[in-house]
Structures are given as C-alpha cells and as structure tokens.
Structure 1
Amino acid sequence: MSFPNLTLFRHYAESVPSAIPKTVLKTHTDNSVTVADAYPKSLFHFIVLPRALPPLDISNLKDLRTLLKCDREQALQVLKRLDADAEAVRAIIEAEMVSKYGFKWEIWTGFHPLPSMEHLHLHVLSADLCTPAMKIKKHYNSFHPKLGFFLHLEEVLSWFEATPSFYDMKRALTPRQYEDRLKEDLMCFKCDDVFKTMPKLKEHLQQEWDRMAKREKAKLAKKRKREEEAAAKAGDGDDGNVKAKKCETESPAE
C-alpha cells in the first residue's frame, strides 16, 4: 500500500517496526520510530517520529505547533521522550562516524517550525550539510544552525522553563516569524562567509569538511603515536624490572 509523501511519517509512526522497510528503519523504542531521511541533507541524517501515547492521539502530533497547543506538561513529556531517544540515535551516529571516517563531529537535533511533512518529526543530523540532496537555498537555510529556522530541541525545551507569557509567545510558531529566514543570504555556518550561489556554497562547505577531516585525523594520529610511545616506555620498564629480579635470584647468597 502506498502513502502520499506528506503523510508517510505518520504512517511510519503508526506502524509496527517489522512493517517498515529495513532500508528505512534505523531503530525504535516504545515511544518512537527512527527512520533514515530519504533526502539526507548531511552525511548522517535521521528522523525521530513520536508514537501517539495516551492521553494524546495522532491528531495531537501533526507538527510542533499542534503539540504545543496541548496541555503543557503532556507536551513536555513528549519532547523529553524524544530527547532521550534522540540521544540513543546520536550515539549510533557517533559510532558510525568513527567506523567510517575515523573521528566524530558535532550533531544537531531540532525541528522545523513550518514542516513539509505531516507528523511531528525531530531531525538528528551531522553538522556538515555536505550531500547531493542539499540543492537549494531553502534547504540550506532550513538547517542552518544559527538563522533561527532550525529550532534546536534544547531551545524548545527551554521554553517550558520560561514565564507563561513567553511560552505562549514562542509556542505560537506563527509563519511570518520564520518564512523570511529561509530567504536569508547563503552564509557558511562555520565561518559566516556569504556566497551568491548554492554551487559556490557547496564547494566551500566541502572544503570546510575536508579541512576538518584532515585536522581531526592528524589529532588522532598524534594521539596514537603518544600512546604507542607510552606503551613502549612501559614495556621497557617492565623488561628492566624482570632483568633486575632475575639478577637478584641468580646472585649467590652472602
């Protein structure tokens, strides 16, 4: 059975894990399902989808704005469960980073206030934005960590600690607050350099990634060398102790 693209996330959230294609499903818990993004905007990009647990139902999980219209404590519990499951996904990503690239780097976790897919979904992606699917300004600015369209989960959770009036202001997520942020200049999220075209920005982002990879691998090589030297010194010390003990046992008694 096929599903319209806009409701595919909702279908996954309501499905038993065994019904989700293995190429799509990353992991799952009683509270959520994590799937691979079909059009990843970073080298690692996954989507955490909350399941509808009583007293909420699937209609309360259409998007972040819908969830935040619910009882404040109930909404907070949904986000806390997502946070816990996202931490597990981050650990999986970090292990795969080390396995594939030899080092790990920053991971972002957050929402879009104006999502393109139906059903609340949390993006968990590596901080590189270097993939073929990153094609247009809207894509890039929607994940830029400092423009304000990408709402970091930590920030959203902080709203619950604020005054009721501030919480009410933030949870409204009015479109006019965010739409213009997608039209901002193409600015590198690392160095803040501005580019006129996506191809130029993508070339620069790849260069940033390559420099980071070279730097991190050099750090690891130095660390390994220090560890090997320390191990060699420890081995020499052990050999000296063994020889000294051997001499003591072989010396004639006085």
Structure 2
Amino acid sequence: MSWRYALKSYVTSPETIDDGTVIYFDDKVSIIKDSFPKSECHLLILPRSMQLSRSHPTKVIDAKFKNEFEPYVDSAISHVFRHFQEKFRVKKSHDDEDLDLGGDILEDENKFVKKFVRVGIHSVPSMANLHIHVISKDFHSVRLKNKKHYNSFNTGFFISWDDLPMTGKKLGTDKDIETTYLKKHDLICCYCQENFSNKFSSLKKHLELEFNSYFQLK
C-alpha cells in the first residue's frame, strides 16, 4: 500500500492499533501521535467519516465542520500542554513580545496555547486521508530533516484552524503553492524571526539552542 494511505487504518479501525500511537477515538474521530513528529509534540486529528476523510480539507472544512470538531481540537491542544507539563520545566523567561514565556507558562494553559501551539492543515496534503495538525511550535525533533518539513508548518503552506473555512479564497495550483512556500521561501526562525535563507543545518542548530534555552527535562 502506498505511504499516502498510511493513515487509513486509524480511520477505519483504530481499535486494532496497539502501538501507542492512538490516544483517543470514538465513532467520529481518531486522535493520534504523528509517527514522524516534526516537533516535541505533534498530533493528528482524523475524521472517521470516509466521505470527509477522502475530501480535500480546504474544500470540506466549513463552519459546520469546525463546530463539530472543535471539542476534539481542544482535547488535542490540552494533550500537548499536559505533555510539556509532565516532561519539562521552564528554564528561563523570555522578553520577546512574540514569544513571551515570562513566568511559568506551564502553569497557564491559555498562555501556553496562544504562544506555543499551532492547529491547522496543509494546503497541499501529502497524505490521502484528511487530517488536522495540532503541533507544538518548537520544531525540536530528529524527524525534522529538511527545508520542506520546516516550511510546511512555518509559511503560508500551513493554513491555521482560525483561518478556516477558505470560502472565496484562492490558493493557486498545488505546484505553485509548493514552489512558493516549500522551495523558494526562506527559512525563518519561529522563535526570533532570524532569516536563515536556505541554510537548513544552521536553522536546525539554532532551533536546538532556542528550545534548550526555554525548557529543560524534569
């Protein structure tokens, strides 16, 4: 089976998967750990309706969809917060207005979520089954291996949950979107906005330093 269909079993039969990747499921949704996480905590929300699952997210996610799946998004976000609470402690505060970790952000879920969690979809999904990403905004992961991985979450290629639905908005062709955001777009640090141009290895080292300046293992 093509890797594009690797998520199908989580949609059709999550109860048969016992490798620890499934954190929740019911008749409407499965919430799983991404098998190739691009951040410290990276979850996927998969609608179990095959009609929805086979649809393109920008075309099917409307106000009704969001209202139905919002509780699952909130649940996944809380899971990310608990993951950080259980594993890390804040190492120091930060005076950057865009990522103010002053005080203990791990005691304030709303503040943590606002500054450190992203929810959304890829404008050109790589997998066949519709999925929503809930990801911590650190990109501290051995699975983050190239420019495409990083820019798929840190440019206009990633469409925020808050910006959906896409009613009346035109994105361009898949090829144009991928060229603009995954290939041509510079690598910009999500912490400090430093521009690393196309130097992924330099960005990767920088992200490691940034993460370790904020958090330490318990």
TM-score, with structure 1 as normaliser: 0.68
How many aligned positions are there?
191
Cα deviation, 1:174-193, whole Å, max 9, x if unaligned, reads 42552211121111122121
Cα drift, residue 99 of structure 1: 0.9
The CA distance in 2 between the partners of 1:185 and 1:59, in whole Å, is 34
> Which sections of structure 2, spanning at least 5 residues, go unmatched?
91-105, 107-111
Structure 1 residue corresponding to 2:82, chosen from 90, 95, 120 = 95
Q: Distance in 1 between matches of 2:11 and 2:213?
A: 39
Q: What is the CA–CA distance in structure 1 between the aligned matches of 2:118 and 2:4, rounded to whole Å?
A: 23
Name the counterpart of 1:13: 11
Aligned residue type for 2:22 = L
Please point out which of 18, 23, 31 is paired with 2:20.
23
Tell me the CA shift for residue 27 of structure 1. Answer: 1.1
Distance in 2, matches of 1:113 and 1:34, equals 20
Question: Map of 1:225-244 to 2, 5 A cutoff?
Answer: none
Residues 36 and 47 in structure 1, CA contact (< 8 A), matched pair in contact too: yes
| SS in structure 2 at match of 1:119 | coil
Aligned to 1:47: 44
- The structure with the larger Rg is 1
Judge conservation of contact 1:50–1:78 (CA < 8 Å) in 2: no
Where do residues 139-154 of structure 1 align in structure 2 (5 Å cutoff)?
139-144=149-154, 147-154=155-162
Partner of 2:57: 64
2:37/2:143 contact within 8 Å kept: yes
Q: Following the alignment from structure 1 to structure 2, what is the Cα–Cα distance between the partners of residues 148 and 40?
A: 20
Q: Secondary structure at the match of 2:157?
A: coil
Aligned pair 1:83/2:70, yes or no? yes
> CA–CA distance in 1 between the matches of 2:19 and 2:47?
19
Q: Distance in 2 between matches of 1:59 and 1:19?
A: 21
1:110 paired residue among 116, 120, 133: 120
Summarize deviations over 1:66-104 as a string: whole Å, max 9, x none. Answer: 425xxxxxx432233232201101112211211110353
Aligned CA-pair RMSD: 2.2
User: Structure 1: 5+ residue runs without aligned partners?
Assistant: 69-74, 160-166, 218-254
- In 2: Cα distance, 1:208 partner to 1:139 partner: 18
State whether residues 137 and 190 of structure 2, in contact with CA within 8 Å, keep that contact through their aligned partners in structure 1: no
- Percent of pairs with identical residues: 27
- Residue 137 of structure 1: aligned partner: 147
Structure 2 counterpart of 1:178 = 177
Normalising by structure 2, we get a TM-score of 0.78
Give the Å deviation of 1:118: 0.4
Question: How far apart in 2 are the matches of 1:201 and 1:210?
Answer: 14
Amino acid at match of 1:116: S
